[in-house]
Amino acid sequence: MADQKQIAFTIDGRPVTTTAGTLVIEAAKTQGIEVPSFCYYPGLSLQAACRMCLVEVEKMPKLQTACTLVATDGMVVKTSTDQVHKARKDMIEFLLSNHPLDCPVCDKGGECELQDMTFRYGLDKTRFVEEKLHTPEQKWSPLVYYDAPRCILCFRCVRVCDEGMDVKALGVGSRGVLSVILPNKPDELACEECGMCIDICPVGALTSGTYRYQTRPWEMTYVGNPCAHCSNGCKTTLSVRNNEILRANNRDHSGINGEFLCAKGRFGYDFTSNAERIRQPLVRRNGKLEPASWEDALEEVARRLKQAHVGRGPAAIGVIGSNHTTNEENYLLNRFARVTLGTNNLDHHRTADYAGLAAALGSRAKDSLATMADVYNAPAVLLIGNDVTQQNPLVAWQIRTGVRHHGLKLYAINSLPSKIHRQAKIAVEVAKGGEHQALRWLASEHGQFDVKTTEALVQLKAALEAEKDVVVLFGADIQGAAIRDLVSLAARFGGKTKFMALGDYANSRGAADMGILPDRLPGYAHLSDSAERARFGKLWGGEISATPGLTARAMMEAAAAGKLNALYVVGANPLKTFGVAQPDRLAGLELLIVHDMFLTETAQRADVVLPAASTYEKDGSLTNTAGEVQLTHRSIDPQGPRSDFDLLRILSHQLSMLGLGTPIRLRTPEAAFDEIRQNVAGYDLAYANLLAGGSELARATSKAPEAAYDVPVGTIFSSQDYLFTSGTLGRYCSRLTSTNEAKQIPWTSSPSTQSWWQR
């Protein structure tokens, strides 16, 4: 890194020792001294525009801006002199001269930096008696509104959009006191709708279309939760009033995402209150799904599962789990399937080969898994087969920020076009599915490419071999043997290489870690491992068969072929996911049970639908694609639906009374998480940090690296969700889908994803 020389100077008489190059405003923070500012924003380019941070420096005739002043040896800085106080007062007075004092109706009232600064540093009277400038408010998109008179022109929004997001949807119009922020199209934003500009706005100039004029900030409670959508696990702060989520934003920056949130994390919370939400159990009677009481519905499920079990035996029962239910729920589902129902036909829609990575790394996984912070800190990142801008927005943010802050070098091998390639030193574009071939060429120079690609690969190889401490990111197409090739290639890089498999959904990683797989137990122990089978069998009060079960796709095929008798689906929509949407594909089933929030294609075909609570309505933990575990909280009451955790627990009691399995005695997700921490490899995590809102990296391991194995084609694949889609859940996020951008094909999408927004 940069010069680590230490320098000593004083602020308000206090001696400070700090690294050479430190800005005075930052050094002051370390002393608990606030130097107020609007335009200064750590991590973005310097402006020195707002002049709020003026401080006195001995031997300098004029006041200096602490946000651009680099501390030097022997410097004497004073932040609390009469001159400084007067300057702050004067700046606030200037700022308020044209600022409308509509605080009583301004969304920002109560959490406005200008309000706070006026309270602390401002004048107690108004001397401005001229007419204020006024222009009408503008709607730039259904999600972003701009009120120019409130704007103090700190240019944070312009910078975060340009520097942070690399979108540059905002600019500055006119000049002088008439200056305004401009959207990139007349009166309209055409952008990623991340809403970062709203979050970063210190005043009420940029407001959220979903939140504006709804409430006052002090009327709400705030709950920090991992986002319900993609696999990156950003923390989003839900603002709740009267059991309703009114806003999601990122004001405390305490999550792994720092200040980042994308459109899904910020605006994609309204599925919780979607009118199509199922609030009551549904039981099929006379061919029609009809509302039923919980008692009747659960009794029906237990009775019919028992029937199926007795009828064609456990091998004809399949269980499909979810990639957005909690770890605790998946853990319970594993026990429910393997012990209560006695079947290894257990799987979920796998969107990255986490098991393959665990197998390839073996015990090396302990220090070879990259966190989101590692992506930012890495000197170099190798990205393979993923459009991170669209599919993994936080990963993309981390890369962009790393490039900007410390010259992170990005290398990419991609069959998907991606905006992130603008940041790449070398981006090798390959044909669909060509990533593995390219890896093989890099590892062993086997394979044929056209001249252009070959040249790019030669360059890439040389560049990578000169790098050290590389973070390797790869998408769904790198699976099985390709991961083995990747890991052996990475052995040639210098330093410590770390890996991250990029999956699709909020708990894609957790589902795999918890063993929602036909051949693996929680912690990736293979079913052939008799000791592990025995351990979990003992824990769960039953025997676990050593024979691997069917994959999810195979279960669907078996169902179609009449080889499966009953299918138990938790939080998944396999009819849609596995491309077998024709209704008769499930004709061979005698029983279909579905837990879900909505009447999905699969739920519509069910015999019993149990309404499930969403991620934002229950306690538990989620594991992001990096393996970082975070707690999710019940921020609102689900009003009707129950958590999958409760449903499985209650059913285990009912089934045990019918002679199937033993009742699950884990009464709460916390209790289940304790059991996970004690029994699942890699999950021995520090709970205190999680309780405090932090994240802990789960380093799921298998004991020794295993021979690579190829999973059947079609088992692991990405849904290729984009910024405005989120699997089945995304369809119920009406705000997310309300923007023009959501209705257009994004500029980076490949032809194969032309109808992505309809998903």
Partner 1 sequence: MQLPPPLETKFNELAGRYPVKRSALIPMMLYAQDHLGSLGDEILEEIAKRLGLNFIEVEETLAYYSMLRRKPAGRNHIQVCTNISCMLRGGNELYKHVQKRLGIGHKEVSASGTFSLEEVECIGACTGAPAMQVNYDFYEDLDPDKVDAIFEQLQEGKKPKPSAVTAGSLHDRLPAEVPVISKRFGIPNAHKIDVYRKHEGYQALEKALTMTPDQIIDEVKKSNLRGRGGAGFPTGMKWSFVPKDTSKPNNIHANADESEPGTCKDRPLMEMDPHQLIEGMVIAGRAVGSHQGYIYIRGEYRYIIDIMDAAIAEAYARSYLGKNILGSGFDFDLVTHTGAGAYECGEESALMESLEGKRGYPRIRPPFPAVVGLYGCPTVINNAETLNTIPAIILKGGDWYSSLGTPRNGGTRLYSISGHVNRPGIYELPLGFPLRRLIEEVAGGVRGGKKLKAVIPGGSSCPLLSAGEIDIAMDYDSVAKAGSMLGSGGTVVMDEDTCMVDVARRIMHFYAHESCGWCIPCREGTAWLRKMLDRFHEGGGREEDIPLIDELSKNMLGRTFCPLGDAAALPTISIVKKWRNEFEDHLHGKCAYNAAELIAGVH
**Residues binding partner 1 (CB under 8 A):** 46-52, 54, 62-63, 68, 87, 90-91, 93-95, 97-98, 127-128, 130-131, 133, 152-153, 168-179, 182-185
Closest to 302 measured CA to CA, from 1, 672, 568, 11: 568
Please, which residue, 162 or 469, has the CB nearer to partner 1? 162
Q: How far apart are CA 280 and CA 134, in angstroms?
A: 51
- Token pair 């939400």: residue: 277
- 88 versus 553: smaller Cβ distance to partner 1: 88
716 forms beta bridges with 350
Give whichever of 54 and 650 is closer to partner 1, judged by the CB atom: 54
**Those residues with Cβ within 8 angstroms of residue 373's Cβ, 6 or more apart along the chain or in another chain:** 256, 398
Tokens of 526: 């293979």
| Residue 697, strand partner residues | 628
Could you tell me what percentage of the chain is helix, strand and coil, using 3-state DSSP and rounding each to the nearest 5?
Answer: 35, 20, 45
Widest pairwise Cα distance in the chain: 92
Q: Supply the minimum distance, in Å, between the C-beta of residue 161 and partner 1.
A: 10
In angstroms, give the least distance from the CB of 149 to partner 1.
Answer: 13
Minimum distance from residue 52 beta carbon to partner 1 (Å): 8
Which residue, 68 or 488, is less far from partner 1 as judged by CB? 68
Q: What is the smallest separation between the CB atom of 739 and partner 1, expressed in angstroms?
A: 18
Angle between helices 669-679 and 327-335 (to 10 degrees): 70
Which single residue is written with the structure tokens 């890495």? 378
Nearer to partner 1, 169 or 606 (CB): 169
Nearer to partner 1, 121 or 757 (CB): 121
- Nearest of 193, 205, 209 to residue 139 by alpha carbon: 209
| Shortest CB 263 distance to partner 1, Å | 20
Q: Which residues contact 84 (CB under 8 A, 6 or more apart)?
A: 54, 55, 56, 63, 78
CA distance 47 to 29: 19
Q: Which residues contact 653 (CB under 8 A, 6 or more apart)?
A: 663, 664
For partner 1, give the closer residue by CB, 196 or 501.
196
Query: Rounded to the nearest whole angstrom, what is the least distance from the CB of residue 393 to partner 1 in the complex?
Result: 20
CB 209 within 8 Å of CB 216:
no
Q: Which is nearer to partner 1, 45 or 528 (CB)?
A: 45
Q: Closest approach of Cβ 184 to partner 1, in Å?
A: 4
Of 70 and 431, nearer to partner 1 (C-beta) is: 70
Quick one: 86 or 492, whose CB is closer to partner 1?
A: 86
Q: Of the two residues 176 and 751, which places its CB atom closer to partner 1 in the complex? A: 176
At position 721, the amino acid (one-letter code) is D
In whole angstroms, the minimum distance from the beta carbon of 148 to partner 1 comes to: 12
Q: Which is closer to partner 1, CB of 183 or CB of 661?
A: 183
CB 97, min distance to partner 1, A: 5
Q: Which residues pair with 726 in a beta bridge?
A: 728
Report the candidate in 475, 524, 533, 548 with the shortest Cα–Cα distance to residue 358. Answer: 524
Scanning 289-445, the segments in alpha helix (DSSP H) are 294-312, 327-335, 354-361, 365-368, 372-377, 388-391, 393-406, 435-444
Q: Give the HSE-up count for residue 106: Cα atoms under 13 Å, Cβ half-sphere.
A: 25
In the complex with partner 1, the residue whose CB is nearer, 109 or 171, is 171
Question: What is the arrangement of strands in the sheet containing 282-285, beginning at the earlier edge strand?
Answer: 288-291, 282-285, 608-611, 591-596, 566-570, 317-320, 346-347
**How would you write 551-565 as a 3-class SS string?**
CHHHHHHHHHCCCCC
Residues in the chain: 759
Tell the smallest beta-carbon distance from residue 434 to partner 1 (Å). 29
Nearer to partner 1, 182 or 457 (CB): 182
User: Cα–Cα distance between 533 and 552 in angstroms, integer?
Assistant: 22
Matching residue, tokens 């179609």: 560
Q: What is the nearest approach in angstroms of partner 1 to the Cβ of residue 132?
A: 10
Task: Tell me how far apart the alpha carbons of residues 117 and 585 are, in angstroms, rounded to a whole number.
Answer: 64
Could you tell me the end-to-end alpha-carbon distance of the chain, in angstroms, rounded to an integer?
A: 45
Q: Which amino acid is at 60?
A: M
Nearer to partner 1, 423 or 635 (CB): 423
Q: What is the identity of the amino acid at 645?
A: F
- Nearest distance in Å: CB 185, partner 1: 7
Which of helix, strand or coil describes residue 270? helix
Rounded to the nearest whole angstrom, what is the least distance from the CB of residue 367 to partner 1 in the complex?
40
- Write down the least CB distance from residue 37 to partner 1, Å: 11
Q: Please state the closest distance from residue 152 (CB atom) to partner 1, in A.
A: 7
DSSP SS3 for 251: coil
For the CB of residue 180, give the shortest distance to partner 1 in the complex, in Å. 9
Of 5 and 127, nearer to partner 1 (C-beta) is 127
DSSP secondary structure code for residue 211 in this structure:
T
> Rounded to the nearest 10 degrees, how much is the dihedral formed by the CA atoms of 577, 676, 355, 646?
-10
Strands 170-173 and 628-632: unpaired
Q: Of 113 and 469, which CB lies nearer to partner 1 in the complex structure?
A: 113
> What is the sign, positive or negative, of the torsion defined by CA atoms of 152, 155, 156, 160?
positive
Are 702 and 710 in contact, with CB atoms under 8 Å apart? Answer: no
User: What CA–CA distance (Å, rounded) separates 438 from 434?
Assistant: 6
Q: What angle do CA 431, 434, 435 make, to 5 degrees?
A: 125
Closer to partner 1 by CB, 205 or 511: give it.
Answer: 205
Provide the minimum distance between the beta carbon of 351 and partner 1 in the complex, in angstroms, as a whole number: 33
Least spacing, CB of residue 157 vs partner 1, in Å: 13
Buried b (16+ CB within 10 A) or exposed e, 55-68: bbbeeeeebbbbbe
Return the DSSP state at 572.
-
